[in-house]
Amino acid sequence: MSEIESYLVPYDLLFLLIAFTLLRFENQRWIRAIARGKVGTSPIVPLFVNVTGLLALLVLFGFYAVIIWKAGIVVALATIIANTLATIIFGFLISIVVGDSFFVWLLATLALWPTGWFLVGSTYENYLG
């Protein structure tokens, strides 16, 4: 195990976390668009988008709480830094290539649900199981 690997969560879990955070980023962009008035007449869609964003945030906080509890603050901080850097880089690239796209926001919001379940399951398997 290299020096860097000892300060991070397992790579499969880190990859899943980065994917989850990127999807959450796109969901958040949709929430901001809804707040600016870019929404249809149905009240169900904004409710679904907002609830998905809230649950995704709770999953993320729960993930970091488990990492702090089981792996320590140093691993949690290194994971937060790696995740933040990857999200900034990939999120910037996605924003440039795709821009504001309802289709991307929809796919990301729907994909948050299974990705969140995989993240919870993988966290349980790696740290609580």
CA distance linking residue 7 with residue 125, whole number of Å: 19
**pLDDT at residue 118, as a whole number:** 95
* pLDDT value, residue 58: 96
Q: Determine the pLDDT at residue 98.
A: 87
Question: Quick check: pTM over 0.95?
Answer: no
pLDDT at 1: 57
**Residue-level pLDDT at 74:** 94
Long-range CB pairs of 53-62, under 8 A, 24+ apart, other chains included: 53/24, 53/27, 53/28, 53/109, 55/112, 55/116, 56/20, 56/23, 56/24, 56/27, 56/112, 56/116, 57/24, 59/20, 59/116, 59/119, 59/120, 60/20, 60/21, 60/24, 62/120
Tens-digit pLDDT string for the chain (129 aa): 577 777 888 989 999 999 999 999 999 999 998 888 876 667 898 999 999 999 999 999 999 999 999 999 999 999 999 999 999 999 899 889 988 888 999 999 999 999 999 999 999 988 887
Domain boundaries, the chain: 22-31+43-128
